[in-house]
Amino acid sequence: MRKVFRKAATSLSLILIVALVARVAFTWDQQRKIPPGVLEIVAFQQETGNIAQSLALGKGFASVFRKDTGPTAWLAPVYPLLVAGIFRVFGIFTIRAFFAAACLNILFSTAACVPIYYVGKRIAGLGTASGAAWLWAIFPNAIMIPFEWIWDTCLSALLAAVILWATIVLAESHRVRDWCGYGLLWGFALMTNPSLASLLPVLLGWAAYRAWRQGPVRLGRPALAAGVVILCCLPWTIRNYIDLHRFIPLRSNLPFELWIGNNEIFDEHSTRAPARITRYEEVRRYGQLGETAYLQEKWNEATQFIRTHPGLELRLCVRRFVAVWTGLEAPIEGFLHAESLLVRVVLICNVLAAIGALLGIAVLYRRRSAFVFPAAAFPVVFPCLYYITHASLRYRHAIDPVVLLLTAIASNAVFRLLAGRSRRMSNAKPAPDGATV
């Protein structure tokens, strides 16, 4: 029975089935509670849906706020193009289009079990590999987000996990085609979620260093990988320069995101602060100025606020740090006043995952693991952008598979420690005087 249980517990096929069933079950349960008319409209009532509509209607990559405001680089092109393809097949803003997009997200999320399993197996063995994949299969965020966000979130999580896997494999390869393939993977990832770009120099640099340590490797191969990444992004950059008359390598919305988290509304003593930020007013202003001028205005306002409010900015960064890792800026208060058990479960799971990631990094460092650097880069480097702009569990989701991998590493280390103590205690024999030997 122990062998049967172990075989089942370490079966990647079983883990994938459970992950798929959990996500489909959540989607089925939620869609019963929401009218179809709401799902087919509200789910796409954001930047991705708006751009996808414009693409499906043949108007190009434009109209980020569902008004005819011209070309945009607000988002990277891959996921809006996927949704536009769904619109062309299943209709624009239809319930069938929603379910098609949600199913695609479910498949992306489920597939992330595979790279995490093999990375865990390479770093810490089969037990950790299966543990990490099981954690991802039943992680509340990973179950809920495919239904709740028609966005690149699930695809980004899959790509981030594959990138870590590819980085570890690449470090042991001297073949040119492997380095070219790594560049293609990164090019696709950046065209999906440019926020992953912060990890590129770290992981590519580590892979080049490890390959050099393994034996002679020409510096041209890492340079070739970097060149392939640039070539993948170049057509999009040229398109942005032609249509928007600005050098925009990946996406243009950073000034807006920076302003959202850094503006006068956070200063309780400001006389210029609006009562609240309204979507209507911002869309109207965007339409008046155009994308380039609007974003330049937001950049000026955000950077001015940061320069003139250093103390407040530090406090805001701390609040965003807490929000990235727990989901709320005030997690204790949020837990106590939560209206549902699900909110509390999500909060607890995210806190445990954050602690587990930290302990996992410590375990790898203590073991002097060669893989501590690339694994730690995901929770250490990637969220820094959101400490500066604004935070959400959805933004962190791209690195959640790696966070859970580190949690599995920490859990496995704790289990081994406790098992070792138990064996030592059971092997101790009582001496005649009552002491143990």
Run of H or E including 183 = helix 176-192
- Per-residue model confidence as pLDDT tens digits over 42-80: 899 899 999 999 999 999 999 999 888 899 999 999 999
Phi, psi values for residue 199, rounded to 5°: -90, -20
Q: Where are the alpha helices (DSSP H) in 34-152?
A: 36-42, 47-56, 78-90, 95-111, 113-124, 126-138, 140-148
- Per-residue model confidence as pLDDT tens digits over 378-397: 999 999 999 999 998 999 99
d(CA 199, CA 373): 11
User: Coil, strand or helix: which one is 152?
Assistant: coil
End-to-end C-alpha distance for the chain, whole angstroms: 34
Q: pTM for this structure? A: 0.93
d(CA 163, CA 341): 35
- Per-residue model confidence as pLDDT tens digits over 127-146: 999 999 999 999 999 999 99
Tokens of 266: 């956070």
176: left (phi over 0), alpha (psi -120 to 50) or beta: alpha
Mean pLDDT of the 414-418 span:
83
Distance of CA 160 to the CA centre of its chain: 7
Other CB atoms within 10 Å distance of the CB of residue 5:
9
pLDDT grade for 277, boundaries at 50, 70 and 90: confident
pLDDT of residue 416: 82
d(CA 210, CA 219): 12
- Per-residue model confidence as pLDDT tens digits over 5-56: 888 888 999 999 999 999 999 999 999 999 998 998 889 989 999 999 999 9
Question: Would you give the DSSP letter of residue 272?
Answer: S
